[in-house]
Amino acid sequence: MQLTFVKKWGMIKRKQSEMLFREAAQRMPGGVSSPVRAFKGVGGTPLFIKKGKGPYLWDADGNQYIDYIGSWGPMILGHSHPAILQAVKKALKLGTSFGAPTESEIFLSRLVQEAFPSIEKIRFVNSGTEAVMGAVRVARAFTQRKKIIKFDGCYHGHADYLLVKAGSGAATLGIPDSAGVPEEFVQNTLVARYNDTASVEELFQKNSGEIAAIIVEPIVGNMGTILPRRDFLLKLREIASREKALLIFDEVMTGFRVAFGGVQELYNLKPDLTTLGKIIGGGFPVGAYGGRREIMQLVAPEGPVYQAGTLSGNPIAMAAGIATLNQIKKLKPYESLSQKTQKLTLGLKEAANRHGVTVTIERAGSMFTLFFTGEPVINAEVARRADTQKFGRFFHAMLERGIYLPPSQFEAAFVSVAHTEKNIAQTIAAAEEVFKTL
Ligand code: KE4
């Protein structure tokens, strides 16, 4: 199938992006505002994006792509959705920021709490990182304990004490432990292995009575997509309750992505605290943390746990989030998103098999990762054994064919409501051509 906007290998013009990148690299570290955008995981010059509409992005040279990054998760409805643009325009007419409570925060709270009954009280912030910082701080205050357990390969934002064996950009850049983080800052951070409850039990035995919380990406997106096996999540819930530690589900990526109520809806589990971000801002900077009332009432100004933010609950961002969640409620898209994504991943797997290319594809709803490995990817160690060089070649060959995948083996790709059956077919056709050359 000849893709309408496919150009021959290497014929895609990149002059504008290359020129822009040269100046950006002079002014900003790595020429980007967030490391994973710099293509370090796949090589080459990052594309400077000019416009997004539905499932498409256009770069500064006018090349069109089917986008599977979706701004790293937020764009579940596709780019420039009319309902979101309309809501934002309406809100803008009233002003942009007041530094005072607005009813829009109540409206978004209602929608989030409807989807996440475990979130009895919620605080809005400006990013997933801030949400996690707030959740960990209130967990430490509530339990009066210092230590936290995270999992190797899980990424929970860039707070110092969580940049320990982190995934996402940290894994891509091969610096799981960041420079500039004094070892004192991470001495209370314990690392377990995902899908291995024995490693969690061992940490509790060695640190009995000292662990405030377990924080987990209940379905991992930041080592690429990794699914919880058997009763891993249920066991975490049981262990945390038994040890009087809190269970924090970091659903910044999975919230409203894998189901309206996230992983906790899919597995019918109640964490003590949840962190959210991405989709709840509809493309604007919004994060949130929340959970059991007796925990959240410790947060200032109600309680002694300080946390604040000039633009937290910003009315424009709230308007985008409200419009997004209302649209999702109306469309009920999860079944069709899952089917569309399954069709894509099955097509990719069959194309790879036809050309003798060994891949494992892990999928949860409309998030997925194609790993260049033959083993089921059950944890970070297995993910790190994937052939990242081959992933880089695959990434660029797909990009040349107008398919924009996440520029890292250790990220999740996302299908949106806007992706059509034709887009799926075009993507499989492009992969068929690429697997031939790989
Ligand atoms: P932000 O601070 O980037 O809004 O959220 C941090 C965060 C927390 N928890 C989870 C599960 C996350 O996935 C993230 C952010 N995810 C990455 C993508 N893997 C953001 C992309 C980037 O860093 O540029």
Is residue 85 scored above 90 in pLDDT? yes
Interatomic CA distance for residues 228 and 262, integer angstroms: 14
The 10s digit of each residue's pLDDT in 380-397 is 999 999 999 999 999 999
278 is catalytic: yes
pLDDT of residue 102: 98
pLDDT of residue 10: 54
Of the residues 65, 155, 194, 289, only one is catalytic, namely 155
- Residue 3 — very low, low, confident or very high, per pLDDT cuts 50/70/90? very low
Residues facing residue 400 across a β-bridge: none
- Domain 15-67+333-437 maps to which CATH number in 3.90.1150.10, 1.10.3720.10, 3.20.20.60, 3.40.50.2020? 3.90.1150.10
Residue 218 Cα to ligand 1 midpoint, Å, equals 14
Assess whether pLDDT exceeds 80 at residue 246: yes
Average pLDDT of the chain is 95
Going from N- to C-terminal start, the domains of the chain cover: 15-67+333-437, 82-331
| pLDDT per position as a tens digit, 346-379 | 999 999 999 999 999 999 999 999 999 999 999 9
Annotate 308-324 with b (16+ C-beta within 10 A) or e (fewer): eeebbbbbbbbbbbbbb
Average pLDDT over residues 49-78: 98
Q: 434: phi > 0 → left, psi -120 to 50 → alpha, else beta; which?
A: alpha
Q: What is the pLDDT of residues 181-232, one digit of tens each?
A: 988 889 999 999 999 999 999 999 999 999 999 999 999 999 999 999 989 9
CATH fold of 82-331 = Aspartate Aminotransferase; domain 2 (3.40.640)
Is the model's pLDDT at 4 over the cut of 50? no
User: In the predicted model, what is the mean pLDDT of residues 400-416?
Assistant: 98
Based on the residue annotation, tell me whether 155 is a catalytic residue of this protein: yes
* Pairwise CA distance, residues 19 & 35, whole Å: 19
Substitution candidate for ligand 1 out of 72, 162, 194, 405 with most atoms within 8 A of CB: 72
Instruction: Find the 156 Cα to ligand 1 centroid distance in Å.
Output: 7
Q: Read off the pTM.
A: 0.96
Burial-class residue 200 by CB neighbours within 10 Å (0-12, 13-18, 19+): buried
Query: What is the band of 344 on the pLDDT scale with cuts at 50, 70, 90?
Result: very high
Which pLDDT band holds residue 8 (cuts at 50, 70, 90)? very low
- The mean pLDDT value for 416-430 works out to 98
Q: Under a CB-based contact definition with an 8 Å cutoff, are residues 96 and 315 in contact?
A: yes
